[in-house]
Each structure stands twice: as C-alpha cells, then as structure tokens.
Chain A
C-alpha cells in the first residue's frame, strides 16, 4: 500500500530491503535508577514514515534525542546508512543529515522567522539568502510564511511551520517529528500530514513521527513501533494495525506492576494470582514477537478486574440521588502561560467518600486541574465550589482553607522544602498546630511531628532530620501526613506514586482508600492506568482539557480508556 502511494507521489523506487537509513541496535539509556530506553532496536527505511507510538515516559523522546545528539546513549550503536556513527551533539546529527522538528523547544519567540531559521547555521549571517531559501521551501512544500514576522506573534500552527522550514532548510535525509500535532487544530494537522507526505515522497527521505495519538499514527505512517516503559513492545506495518490493538500495546502495563506486587506478596491476590502472573508474562512475550492477541489480552484484563473487585476495602460509596456534592467545578476555563487553552469548560462533581480517577495522556489539562485546586491558577471563567460555597481561584491558600488538600505532582518542586526539617515541612500549610501569635512553639511542633512520624511510619532520624536526608517514599509520606492532618474534605492526589517503589506505592494506595472510606473525596490524577483502575470508583478521561469519557470502574477497561486517551471516539 505504501509503495503505491509513494509511486503515485512520484518516487521511482522504495527499496525497504536495502540498508536502512537508520539502524539503532541495543540502545540503552538510564537516568539514575530509571531506564528510559532498554536495549531498543529500530530500523528506519528510506521513503517511509515510521510512527513511534507510546505514552509519556515510554522512552520515545529520549530515543529520538539520542538520534539528534541531545542525549548520549549508555550502550548500543547507531548506524546511519550502514555506517556506525557517534552522535555527540546536534551539529554532528545535522551534518549526518538528521533533522528534528521539535515539539516546543527550538524556536525563540523574540526573534523573527528568518532569524530563527538561520539560527544554528554556520558562516556569515545572510538575511537575504535566508529569506530566499524560506521562499523556496514555501513554494516546494506549500509552507507559506512571512519571514519578517516575529515568531512570538504567530499561531501555534504557523510556529510549527517555521519549525519545519528550519529543519528542511538543511535538507535532512532523516526527519523526526516530535509530537507534531499536540498544539495544532485538526485542520492544521491535516495540512501537516499532507506536507509530510511531500517531504517523504520528494527525495525519498526517512521520516519518524513520534506520537501518542492513535489516529494520526494509523493514518499518516507506513510502519509503527510501539514503546512502553523504555522497551519496544510491538513493531508492525500500519496496514496490519488497528486502533484497538495499538491502544492495548501502548497502555497495557498491568503486567509488570501487578505481577511485581504479587511476587512481593503485598497485594492480597487470590488463588488466581499465580495464574494471572503466568498468563501476563506469556502475553508480554507474545506481544514482543507478533503483537498482542486481542482475545487473550481481554482474558488477562478480566482476571485483574476480578481480583480488584474482590478487594473489599474498595467498595464505591452509595451515592444516591439526594447526595450533595462536596466539590463542584462548573465550566472551568483555564489558559496556560502561552494562551493555549488548558481546561475547556471542564465540569466535575465529587461526592464524599468516592475516589475519582482522572485518566489521560499527560498534557491534556490534568496539571491545570491540579493547579486550579492548589490555588496556583486563576480560572478565566467558571466556578469552583466546596460544600456549596464558591472558592476564589488563584488566591494563595484559599483552596486549602476551603478544605482541599493536595499531594502535588512534583514533591520536590512544590510539595516540600528539602532544606527544612521534617517537622517544619509537616506544618508548612497550617502552622496553627505549632504556633501561636506568630511564634513557633518548638515543643508543640516536636510533639506534632513525633505523632505524625509514628502515625504515618515515616522513616527518618527524628523530627529535626533535614527533609533531603529522607528517602523518596518517606518524603511522600510527609506530604501525605501533612495534607491528611488538615482533615481535608477533598484530597487531590496528582501522580501520587510517581517515582516510588512498590512498597511505597502500596502504602499510598492504602492511605488513599482509607481516606475515602472516612468520607474524603479523593481526586486521583494519574498517568498510571492500572493505578486508576485499581483505586477509583469512577473514572473520567481527559483529552484537550475536556472530559471525553466518564464511567464507573466496573465498566472501565484498558482498551476503552486507551482509545479515549488517544482521542478516538468511544
């Protein structure tokens, strides 16, 4: 199919069996303890568009950064046209004919279009020649733009056009598009893919399309590689793929975490536990070889659900027609710093004692939702009410005062002050427990801290241990202790288990369930689908700042969620 397409577009030959334009072999990259890419093999052919699909953090961006020299691999080889190369900086990559159209990072708003295009070249600055080249590219690929406009004044679509021109100007033979449509309108995306075809067809270039959107990968590519947790889990031709299998391969992570927990005996899996484990393992192996079998995958998912359902600590609260929501967000609209809409008439009601899971690919408004409830963002329009009383948005401390506790997404960035002590961190939000008339009473502070340390089993050398001396899991317990000690009506947990080990994850899950059991409404924002499926009573899926799907847990499964997350219609 791809061959005919290319033939139509005017290329005389596409020989996929010849030496690939790029061959990555056994590429591994670690960041600290995290393995971003784990022995990845990937071959890119000339004249074809290769889709690289995966969730945030699956390792696809890191992999591409190694190809353009922004990140150096720990091991593995990169061969360009059959020759092994060491790509240690962007200039080397550029000299090898590798160009990248970046998602956000490569344009300077304060400079004009032609200045941006000229940036990173060598030799004398020649405005006239640069403008001329922009005109040529504009004509060749239909990417018309005014070279003297300031980039900061352009729309997202036009900015990306500049980005593409900047990349094509150096005439790369290998072009990487990193999440190109994340900032575009559907029409702009359509235009982009049209020009993408041109780029490939005209000079038999090799194109990589990095994306987490199922639709566009299916429509715009010839080959697809799916990555998950740093590994390639599936490789196939686009003609042999459909949205359901792709969604499953992309998000189907129940395997690792659940089996790991079972192995450690933390989670009370029933007798099916071992079978479950074995089946999941098989499933993964098969996925590696020839894609995921839909039937068996469904069975595996069914198993996990049974076990989760049998867990009695997690029964949904009885929300009758007379129940009164504790939190009500009404048609909330939020714009981010760039003026892009982050929440788009987002409405949500939460009832005491329920856990609402917010699923979605990162960057679809979840962060804005958390930030609004942390008083960090002001609504452009819409309301937030707690127990029927409106709460002003963006006013420091207002949400906390109204009874909203927050476990922030990045505990180092906004959850804790690492250079202060554990005790001090425990009273950061509300000093009234340890202070009177503006003075901190060391005795009361100490007593409170000791109580919290015991209650939440925080492993530290004492109340005066500096925060940085405490491990990640215990740092998260400090945040948790602080927020729960406020006795909040609503607890927002944003990525609460990120970067934690299995035991700490289990503890956090247990605490969230307990909080809900005592009547706290818990809003769980997580990119870990299995976490959402395990803990939530109700699940909402966010896409482009809106709720695109809502379902009780019993009706939820990986496929449905995966499809919704990818922006496909339910």
Chain B
C-alpha cells in the first residue's frame, strides 16, 4: 500500500501528469465550451462526439492537402459545423427529436470517417510547441499551460470570448432566454429555433476546433477511434458544472485529471488492473454527477423542443 501511495505522490509531482492533463482538459474544454452554449439555448446536444471526430478528420484532411496546421484547424471547424448543421436543421427546423438525430449522427460520423480514413488515409502531424517565456517556468503547471503545441492557446481566447458572448451580448441574452423560457422569448419577438440553431453551429465550431486540436496537439496521425467517448465526458462536464462556464471548465479539469492519472500510473508501471484503470475517468465522472448534478439548476427548457402555441 505504501508503494501505491508513493506512486501516487510521484504521479502528482511529475510534470507529465500535468501536461497530459492539460492536453486532455484542452480537448474537453473546446468541446464543453460549445456544448455549454448549446445547452444554455435549450439543446442537449449529444452529437458532440461526432462533431469532435468529424472535426479531427476534416482537420487531418485539410492538413493532408495543404500541409498546414492552420488550414487544418480551419477545415476542422468547417467539419464540426457541417455536423452541427445536420443536427441543427433536423432538430430545430424539421422538429426531429434532438436525441435521435444526435445518436444517429454519432454513429454515422464514426462509420463515415472509418470508411474515408481507409479510402484516403490522410496523414497529419503534431503541431509545433510554443513556449511562453516566464509563465512556462511556473513549477509543475507552467509547462503544462504555457509550453504547449500552439493550437492550445486558442482556448485562452475562446473561453473568455464565449463567456462574453453569452453574458454580455444581446445574442447571448436572447440565447439564455430561449433556453429558459422559449414561449416568453417568442412573445418578446425572438426567433427561438433560429437562436437554437445558431448556438448548435457555435458548438459545432468549437467541437471541430477541439477535434483538430486533439489531432495536432495530441495524437498526430488520424485514427477512427481517437475520440473514444470524450464528447460524452464533455457533456457530463457541462452538467457537472451546473451550466456555468466556470463549473464546466472545472469539470473538464477534474475529468481530464482522472484520464491523465490513468496514463501516468501506467507509465510508472504500477501494476493495477488495466480494465479498471480504463474505467476510472468514467467512474469519477459518474461520481461527480451523482454528487453535484442534483444541486444545480438546468436551463428550464433544456431538451424541450419549441413549437409555437404549445406549452
């Protein structure tokens, strides 16, 4: 047992744990930020998984064609938004059930990228690392947060921007009202389903970026299985965070910590049942949800479709 605790101590004092954690948290943060916006508008968008994977694939494709990571990030965004488009138009224009659409999309994207990967075999690579002087010298977390592959730094803009968008702009006010009380919003002259579609597109954009970041910041060559449930963890992070951006990001960090811990403990070579380890992040996620989920208030109209006249 002492052996175990010394290993844990070792894990928490090595910088790799934090760099891994930051990478994983980064992917989750990209996805969860957009998901948070979508959920605040009233859509429980479960196609995050597909958006991440689609974004990663189109990013790889973009890089494959141009050899530029920047272009890859752009095509990743486009890929995410394409999937968002299907989700948004199906569920908030054609009034299809948002969960059925999301579920179908996740499976569809998985199949499609698997097929296209074999057909095209896009090659991609890791982006360059970029060190921010001084800040990167902070002990333990400095390197993790300020000596990353450069797409990571987009987060430092995306997160405050998203907060500003939701809380400080008219669009954000309307978006929140649509998620809380679509009938009232409608009466006030706001196009409810349009706002909801727009917020799904925003989620597609950030998830596409997240997928691209995952590719260029973490894995390098594209594989069909890379996303592996992280989209769902991002959804869990939003719920865990009580539909606040701060809480959502805290959720991302905690869940990513669990993922990173798993990797580190394997690297150290501590012998622990690997299946159990695989499950660890998800156990943390479920435990977190069980503890916090009932204490928070969801947007009142979350996951409820809006049809004028119905109440």
Contact = CB atoms under 8 A, between A and B. Distances in A.
B303 to A, nearest CB: 16
B181 A118 contact: no
Nearest to B178: A108
B176 A106 contact: no
Contacts of B186: 70, 90
The 6 closest A-B pairs by CB, nearest first: A120-B188, A90-B189, A125-B170, A120-B189, A91-B189, A106-B187
B181 A109 contact: yes
Tell which of A106, A118, A123 has the most Cβ of chain B within 10 Å. A106
A89 interface: yes
Contacts of B176: 108, 110-111
Tell which of B176, B188, B299 has the most Cβ of chain A within 10 Å. B188
Interface of B: 168-170, 172-174, 176-177, 180-181, 183-190, 297, 299-300, 308
Given A102-B187, A119-B185, A110 B173 contact: no
A120 B171 CA distance: 10
Contacts of A443: none
B170 A110 contact: no
A168 to B, nearest CB: 14
A109 B177 CA distance: 9
Contacts of B184: 105-108, 119
Contacts of B189: 89-91, 94, 120
Contacts of A121: 170
Contacts of B169: 125
A107 B170 CA distance: 16
Interface of A: 70, 89-91, 94, 100, 102, 105-111, 115, 118-125, 166
A100 B170 CA distance: 22
Contacts of B300: 109-110
A122 B191 CA distance: 13
Contacts of B299: 110
B170 A124 contact: yes
Given A110-B180, A110-B300, A105 B170 contact: no
Contacts of B297: 110
A491 to B, nearest CB: 29
A90 B190 CA distance: 9
A513 B12 CA distance: 79
A91 B185 CA distance: 12
Interface of A is mostly: loop
A119 B180 contact: no
A91 B194 CA distance: 15
Contacts of B181: 107-110
B183 A105 contact: yes
28 contacts: A70-B186, A70-B187, A70-B308, A90-B187, A90-B189, A100-B187, A105-B183, A105-B184, A105-B187, A106-B187, A108-B181, A108-B185, A109-B180, A109-B181, A110-B180, A110-B297, A110-B300, A111-B173, A119-B173, A119-B174, A119-B188, A119-B190, A120-B189, A120-B190, A121-B170, A124-B170, A125-B172, A166-B188
Given A70-B308, A94-B189, A123-B170, 6 more contacts: A70-B186, A105-B183, A108-B181, A108-B185, A122-B170, A125-B173
A432 B308 CA distance: 41
Contacts of A91: 189
Interface of B is mostly: helix
A148 to B, nearest CB: 14
B170 A111 contact: no
Tell which of B176, B184, B300 has the most Cβ of chain A within 10 Å. B184
A166 B176 CA distance: 18
Nearest to B177: A108
Tell which of A91, A100, A105, A122 has the most Cβ of chain B within 10 Å. A105
A63 to B, nearest CB: 16
Contacts of A70: 186-187, 308
Contacts of B180: 108-111
Contacts of A122: 170
A115 B173 contact: yes
Tell which of B173, B180, B186, B187 has the most Cβ of chain A within 10 Å. B187
B120 to A, nearest CB: 45
Nearest to B187: A106
Contacts of B173: 111, 115, 118-119, 125
A206 B166 CA distance: 37
Contact of B177 (A90, A102, A119, A123): A119
A412 to B, nearest CB: 13
A116 to B, nearest CB: 8
Contacts of A100: 187
Given A109-B180, A109-B300, A111-B177, A118 B187 contact: no
A104 B170 CA distance: 23
Nearest to A166: B188
Contacts of A124: 170
Contacts of A115: 173, 177
B167 to A, nearest CB: 10
A118 B188 CA distance: 10
Given A109-B180, A110-B300, A90 B168 contact: no
A111 B297 CA distance: 13
Contacts of A166: 188
Contact of A106 (B170, B188, B308): B188
B83 to A, nearest CB: 29
A115 B299 CA distance: 16
B182 to A, nearest CB: 9
A90 B184 CA distance: 12
A115 B297 CA distance: 19
Contacts of B188: 90, 106, 119-120, 166
A120 B172 CA distance: 12
A124 B174 CA distance: 12
Tell which of A70, A108, A124 has the most Cβ of chain B within 10 Å. A108
A118 B177 CA distance: 11
A59 to B, nearest CB: 15
Contacts of A119: 173-174, 177, 184-185, 188, 190
A125 B181 CA distance: 19
A91 B190 CA distance: 9
Nearest to A69: B189
A388 B185 CA distance: 49
Contacts of B174: 119
Contacts of B170: 118, 121-125
Contacts of A102: 187
B204 to A, nearest CB: 24
A31 to B, nearest CB: 9
A121 B174 CA distance: 10
Contacts of A106: 184, 187-188
A125 B170 CA distance: 5
